[in-house]
């Protein structure tokens, strides 16, 4: 799925997986319904970005190209516009709403 990010950065876009891999669901389900620490939330976000993003055309706040999250350093990712990352995570969260998490469901 391609997401246009022009509202946040000229020419920016991201391509994410169309479905949620078990790796992401497993980490997210461990955190669901808890009062998560900042470190736990960061872990979920990092796993999500590194697993879900196939490609992106994103620059950091200084104008340098940023590699996709699984290839980027933490410092490079930290310099990406926070609103842009929030938009990507929000779109991924919209995908998770389609996933049944009932342990008795066929796709749990």
- Distance from C-alpha of 105 to C-alpha of 85, rounded to nearest angstrom: 31
In-domain check, residue 104: no
Residue for token pair 């697993």: 51
Total number of domains constituting the chain:
1
Whole-model pTM? 0.82
**Which residue intervals of the chain are DSSP H helices?**
22-31, 38-52, 74-78, 82-96
In-domain check, residue 30: yes
In-domain check, residue 35: yes
- Distance from C-alpha of 85 to C-alpha of 102, rounded to nearest angstrom: 29
pLDDT, tens digit, 9 for 90 and up, residues 23-61 = 988 888 887 777 888 888 888 899 999 999 999 999 999
* Cβ-Cβ contacts under 8 Å for 96 (sequence gap 6 or more): 20, 25, 28
- Distance from C-alpha of 65 to C-alpha of 102, rounded to nearest angstrom: 40
């Amino acid at each position: 799925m391609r997401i246009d990010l022009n509202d946040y950065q000229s020419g920016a876009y991201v391509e994410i997986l169309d479905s949620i891999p078990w790796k992401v669901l497993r980490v997210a389900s461990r955190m669901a319904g808890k009062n998560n620490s900042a470190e736990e939330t960061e872990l979920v976000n990092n796993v999500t970005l590194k697993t879900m993003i196939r490609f992106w055309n994103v620059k950091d706040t200084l104008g340098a190209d940023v590699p996709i999250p699984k290839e980027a350093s933490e410092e490079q990712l930290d310099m990406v516009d926070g609103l842009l990352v929030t938009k990507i995570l929000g779109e991924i969260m919209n995908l998770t709403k389609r996933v049944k998490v009932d342990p008795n469901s066929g796709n749990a």
